[in-house]
A and B are shown apart, each in its own frame.
Chain A
C-alpha cells in the first residue's frame, strides 16, 4: 500500500514541509488559549495561519464545523501532494475514511447556548448537517468528487489510526484504488477542557504551558488539548506506479485490539496495545526486531505512558527508539493517529527521528529509549505508529520506507551469497491469490509493501551475536500471518531458524556472519 500524499493541518503548521521543520526543532506549540480563559486549564495547542474563509471561501467555511474545515483543507493538500487531479480520477474508485472522536463540539456549544437562552428561532438549520461526525468524510467527498465509500471511524484517540487500517482494507479488498485516509478533530472548547480536566486527564501546568505536554517525563501530569487534521493518500502500488507517482512510504500492515479492562484507563500492562502491535507486525510480515522506530501514542498522562511502555517492552523486549509527537502539538484526538502516521512517513523519508519535547527527566519506570533534545538518525527503514483510546481501543500501523536508497542490502541471507535478496528487488507485479482476509476470491494483488525492508548491509560483520529468545518473533506463532504472493520473500520468514537477526536496538546489524556497526540503509 503506497502512501503517495500527505495533508497536514496542525498547530505545528500546515503542510508536510512546515510540520516537519517544526517537529525537528521540537518546539512545543502549547500556549494560553483565550477561549479557555478562566478555566483550570487555560492553554492548548491551536492552529496558526488557519483562516477558513480564505482557504475555503466564505460559503463553505460558514457551512462547515471546524473539524470538517480542517479535514477538507488537509484532504486538498494530500491530493495535491500526491499529484492527483480529481478532474482526472475515477471518483467511484476513490474512498474517504476519516477518524473523528470529539466531533462537532464547536457547533454544539454555539447552538445549545442559543436554545438555552430561549432563542429556538435562532438555532441554525445547518446545525445537524454541520455537526454529525460523518460530515468530515462527506464534505471531503463532496469537495473532491470522491464517490467511493465514505466512512468515519471512531475509536476515540485511536480513530485516525483505525481509519488508516480501514482504508488499507478497502484497497486490499479491491473496493478502492485509492483512499483519502486520516483524521480530524478540534476538541478545544471550554466544555471539553473542563470535562477532561474533571477526569484528571489534562495537564494543569498553567505556569508553563509550553512545558505541559511531557510524555514519558517523570513530571508529566496529563495531556494538552490540540486540534488538527491529517490526511494520507493511500494507493494501490500498481495504481501509483501506473500514473508515475512516487510513494513517500508504504503502509505495510495494521492491527487492532481492545483491552476490555476499563472504560477509560488503559490496561496496566498494555495488553490490548501489545496485541494490536503484534497483529500489525504479523500483517506486515515483520518480526519485532525488524522495526527501527516507534511513533508512540505518548499522551503524557500518568496512566497512559507506563501502560504503553509495558506493551512495547513485552512485544519488543528492547524497543527501538521512540518519539512522542504530542509533546509538540498536544492531543488532536481523532486526528492524532493520522498526524502521527504522517510524521512517521516523514521520519522514514528523511531518515531522522524527531525528538520528543520536554523530556527533561525521564521516568525511570518507562524503560524506553525516547529520542529527545535533538533528532536522531533513523537507520532502519521500518516504523510503527500506535494509538490507544478510551474504551480500551488500540490500533497500530506499520510503515516502511519507499526510498530505494534505503534498501542497500546484498546477500545477508544464508545460502544466497552474492545474490540480491528478494527484499531489495523492485516491487513485484500482481501475482497469486488475493489475501485470505479479503475472502480469497478477489483479483490478484501485489505484495502489500511492494518491497520489504532489508535488515542488513553487505558489510561482513566483525563478530557473531544473535539475539536471545525474548527478541525472537515468538508472537508470530499465534498471530495471523497473511499469505504472500509467490516470490515475495518475507524478511521475517527468511529470518526464522538460522537466518540473520537484528540486535535489539543498539545500532548494529546482524548477518549470518555475525553483527557489527553500520547502517543497514
Chain B
C-alpha cells in the first residue's frame, strides 16, 4: 500500500474518528459516513500532508482511488 494511502488512513482514524477496520482501499468515502464538509476537510488534509490539491473528492470515490489520484498528481508535478 502506498505511503499516500497510509497518510490518508492515519488521518481518517486519528482525526475523523473512523474505525480502523473501515479504512480499506475499496471503501468509498460515502461508506465512512463523511458529510460534504468533512470531505472538504479531508481534501485540505491531503493538500497539507501530501502536497497535492484534490478538489474533486466525491462520496462515490474509494480511498484507493483517492490515494492513486494524489499519487498521480504528485508524479505529474514532479515530471513537469
Indicate which residue in A121, A122, A126 contacts B41 across the interface (CB closer than 8 Å).
A126
> Given the complex, which residues of B lie within 8 Å of A58, measured CB to CB?
11, 14-15, 45
Chain A residue contacts of B15, Cβ below 8 A: 57-59
Bound-state CA distance A129–B40 (Å) is 12
Interface residue tally on B, bucketed by range? 10 to 19
The verdict on B53 contacting chain A, using a C-beta distance below 8 Å, is yes
B76 surroundings in chain A (CB, below 8 A): none
Q: If A58-B14, A126-B40 touch, does A121 touch B55 (CB 8 Å cutoff)?
A: yes
On chain B, the residues within 8 Å of A62 by CB distance are 41, 44-45, 48
**B 61-73 binary contact with A (CB < 8 Å = 1; else 0):** 0000000000000
Per-residue interface assignment for chain A, residues 35 to 69, with 1 indicating a CB less than 8 Å from any chain B CB and 0 otherwise: 00000000000000000000001110011000000
**In the assembled complex, A438 has its CB within 8 A of some CB on chain B:** no
Cβ contacts under 8 Å, A129 to chain B: 37
A420 at the interface (CB under 8 A from B): no
A63→B37 CA distance, assembly (Å): 10
Number of chain A residues whose Cβ lies closer than 8 Å to a Cβ of chain B: 11
Q: Which residue of A lies closest to B47 (CB)?
A: A122
Contact partners of B37 in chain A: CB under 8 A: 125-126, 129
Contact with B along A120-160 (1 / 0, CB 8 A): 01101110010000000000000000000000000000000
Contact A125 B40 (CB under 8 A): yes
Which residues of A lie under 8 Å from residue B11 when comparing CB positions?
58
Taken residue by residue from 52 to 96, chain A's Cβ proximity to chain B (1 for < 8 Å, 0 otherwise) reads as 000001110011000000000000000000000000000000000
Q: Is the CB of B16 within 8 A of A59?
A: yes
* Contact (Cβ within 8 A) A124 B44: yes
Distance, CA A63 to CA B16, complexed state (A): 12
Closest to A61 in B: B15
Q: Given A57-B15, A58-B14, A126 and B55 touching (CB < 8 A)?
A: no
Residues of B within 8 A of A (CB): 11, 14-16, 37, 40-41, 44-45, 48, 53, 55
- Supply 11 further A-B pairs (C-beta < 8 A) apart from A57-B15, A58-B14: A57-B14, A58-B45, A59-B41, A62-B44, A62-B45, A121-B55, A124-B44, A125-B37, A125-B40, A126-B40, A129-B37
